[in-house]
Amino acid sequence: MFLDNLVESLHQLCKENHLTYEEVSDRCGISVRFFGDVMRKKRCPSLRVLEKLCNGFQVTPDELLKIDDSTWESLRTAASCSTNPLDD
């Protein structure tokens, strides 16, 4: 569900802003390959990458992930306890 919501939102944002994967990667500070893998649901981004996507598209996490703020904070708290974060 998480990745499905994210990919749907990213697809819509790219379409609305007429952006290519290359333009998104420049705008968000992530690699084109990583962004493509996310869009194909081959990789799940870390919270750090999600923040880069939010900043690049100027949207809030709940807008990007279609979740409420309390759920986002729970995810953030859980990730800060992680000993093996996945980053781009």
Per-residue pLDDT for 14 more than 90? Answer: yes
Among candidate residues 27, 22, 25, the one with its CA nearest the CA of residue 58? 27
Per-residue pLDDT for 65 more than 90? Answer: no
Residues 20, 26: Cα–Cα separation, whole Å = 10
pLDDT digits (tens, 9 = 90+) for 38-60: 999 999 999 899 999 999 999 99
Distance of CA 45 to the CA centre of its chain: 6
pLDDT grade for 77, boundaries at 50, 70 and 90: confident
Task: Output the pLDDT for position 61.
Answer: 85
Tokens representing 22 are: 């290359």
Task: Output the pLDDT for position 82.
Answer: 57
